[in-house]
Structure 1
Amino acid sequence: YKFYQFWVNVSDEDAERYIKIFTLLDKATVESLIAEHREAPHLRKLQKRLAEELTVMIHSREEYERAVAASSILFGGGAEALKAADERTILEVFDGVPQFEISAADLAVASGVPFAALCTEKASVFASKGELRRLVQGGGISLNGTKVTDAEQPVTTEDLISGKFLLVQKGKKNYFLLIVK
């Protein structure tokens, strides 16, 4: 994932140089990719192809596909991409984000644990329930890629990703990984 992301994030100028140096693509293909990229640089087609070629060459087609899936978790895949992710991918993608361990017993209760209690008492994701409620009312909180509309909604073992994780998102860029042990 990190290898793939490195190449996706290179500048346009570097991508034009690197695709000529580091890939085995023929000259016509490279020139076509560069021309296509110059017409719509915001699509980053050149960087994506560079990342694909190098990730497949160095790691494998399977690892490339895992990296693309991991990227979709953060950049637009939403709840479906998140639910399809395996444990290794989740840990790679969310390496470096704040992590909290919670007890499996907390979620094993038949009715689950209220989202507000989970994120303030079981894990210190939010400083207070009041802060959490304000963000929920403003539409700024997601659990596993789905907007939270009720601060008291129950969270159960059914909500776990890969049987082990809960992902809380505050705003657009603040993620918190809850690991159930």
Structure 2
Amino acid sequence: MTTNFLSELKDRGLVYQMTDEQALEELLNEESVKLYIGFDPTADSLHIGHLLPVLILKRFQEQGHVPVALVGGGTGMIGDPSFKDAERSLNSTEIVESWANSLKNQLSRFIDFDDKTNPAILANNADWLTSMTLIDFLRDVGKNFTINYMMSKESVKRRIETGISYTEFAYQLLQAYDFLKLYETEGVKLQLGGSDQWGNITSGIELLRREKEVQGYGLTMPLIKKADGTKFGKTEGNAVWLDADKTSPYEFYQFWLNTDDRDAVQFLKYFTFLSLDEIAEIEKEFNEAPHERAAQKALAKEVTTLVHGEKSYEQAVRISKALFSGDIKELTAEEIKQGFKDVPSYDVSANDDLNLVELLVNSGIESSKRQAREDVKNGAIYINGERIQELEYVLSDKDKIENEFIVVRRGKKKYFLLKF
């Protein structure tokens, strides 16, 4: 354990609020502390909005503490109302259970459940919430909180005017009960979360104090917004997932590579395990030559390697270089799938004429044979990165990448994918 661990978290900008800083710092310096973060299963994968809390669990584990990853198999049936504009839609038990299992598998890629000295712990609040009766809940949990206390939470206040159901109003009590159960079963004393979780966390601390006369602790991280004011974690309206099948490693790499100059250095502090001295060196290099994008390149390398592994990072770099240079034939079929996932495609059938001009029209790449001939003659058509200017050119097996794809480029940037 390093005695300045909490200070480093603050220097990285990872601390937004905490309860009793001095006492928490002493506790972290004196013993191996069990701490938890909850992850409600709202989809079958975590996304990069979850990355900060996942990585802070990893940081605590590396300092000798014991992270508890709590999958909300129970609370996920309701949904946290904190700072949401409207009530979440409710999902079936089967769906939530399936999503919870997916989250367990993903979390194991970041925190070590087999460590010899301080193995991480995986818990699911469905284990205690789904068997709890309403009477037990009201007697054991509800009696500890006044309506005034619950209404004072900022996350609830914001929903009172537009309307909040009792189901969501009671969510903070369920999360408070999680803290109590994790203290009873695992000895957990610290809860972490995003700054929107402060009200839920302090409710848990209050329940520990009342039921066990124990001092619990809370620490929140900032909710991240990009410098342009938009929500972090979305690209073109879509979430950036940690599941490679939902967001390919190439797309993931490109997301980080395209980070705004104003965010890049701070994101290195948030999302990488580079030391602050190493980040300062990168920042110096970045400030001296911003066009070289040293901060973005380091960020994309570190986070892609962390989430998908070194091989996937190297593959993403190879795809990027091939697309930039136009040397498409160097890519594998798998890399073609990643790099050209969103470009228009055409399934070539056995009946298709493989004459280039004919196929350009049949696939919709060109609007007419006349336009197709003109573009071919003028050198605007490329097959796998090579310019083709023969009007009678016929596509053959030698043009197919691993017998699956041919990449057609029209002009400088318009790509099309022919599938075989």
Q: State whether TM-score is above 0.5.
A: yes
2:78 alignment counterpart: none
Q: Tell me, which stretches of 5 or more residues in structure 1 are unaligned?
A: 108-112
Amino acid corresponding to residue 270 of structure 2 in structure 1: I
Give the deviation of 1:164 after TM superposition. 0.9
User: CA offsets per residue over residues 97-142 of structure 1, 9 Å max, x none?
Assistant: 11101125758xxxxx321122123x22211121112222332211
Partner of 2:53: none
TM-score (norm 2): 0.39
Q: Secondary structure of the equivalent of 2:403?
A: coil
Checking the alignment, whether the CA contact within 8 Å between 2:409 and 2:415 is kept in structure 1 is: yes
Aligned 8 A contact 2:322 2:330 in 1 = no
| Residues 83, 162 of structure 1: 8 Å contact kept | no
The 1-side partners of 2:404 and 2:350 are apart by 9
1:103 maps to what in 2? 349
Matched, 1:118 2:359: yes
Q: Distance in 1 between matches of 2:308 and 2:416?
A: 29
Equivalences for residues 68-87 of structure 1 within 5 A: 68-76=317-325, 78-79=326-327, 82-87=328-333
Corresponding letter in the other structure for 1:83 = K
Unaligned stretches of 5+ in structure 2?
1-249
CA contact (8 A) 1:8 1:50 kept: yes
Identify the residue that residue 276 of structure 2 maps to in structure 1: 27
Match of 2:339 among 84, 93, 99: 93
Q: Distance in 2 between matches of 1:74 and 1:6?
A: 16
Aligned length in residues: 171
Q: Decide whether the 8 Å contact of 2:272 with 2:302 is kept in 1.
A: yes
Selected match of 2:395 from 155, 161, 164:
155
Whole-angstrom CA distance in 1 between matches of 2:305 and 2:418: 32
Partner of 2:259: 10
- Identify the structure with bigger relative contact order (alpha carbons < 8 Å, sequence gap 6+): 1
**Residue number among 282, 298, 305 corresponding to 1:56 in the alignment:** 305
CA offsets, 1:26-71, max 9 Å, x none? 2222111111112221121210111000111111001101111121
Cα contact 1:132–1:151 (8 A) shared by 2: no
Which structure has more helix as a fraction of its residues?
A: 1
- The answer for the alignment partner of 1:110 in structure 2 is none
Separation (CA, whole Å) in 2 of partners of 1:105 and 1:69 = 35
Larger Rg: 2
Note the C-alpha offset of 1:83.
2.2
Rounded Cα–Cα distance in structure 1 between residues aligned with 2:337 and 2:291? 29
In structure 1, C-alpha distance between the alignment counterparts of 2:352 and 2:398, rounded to whole Å: 13
Aligned to 2:373: 133
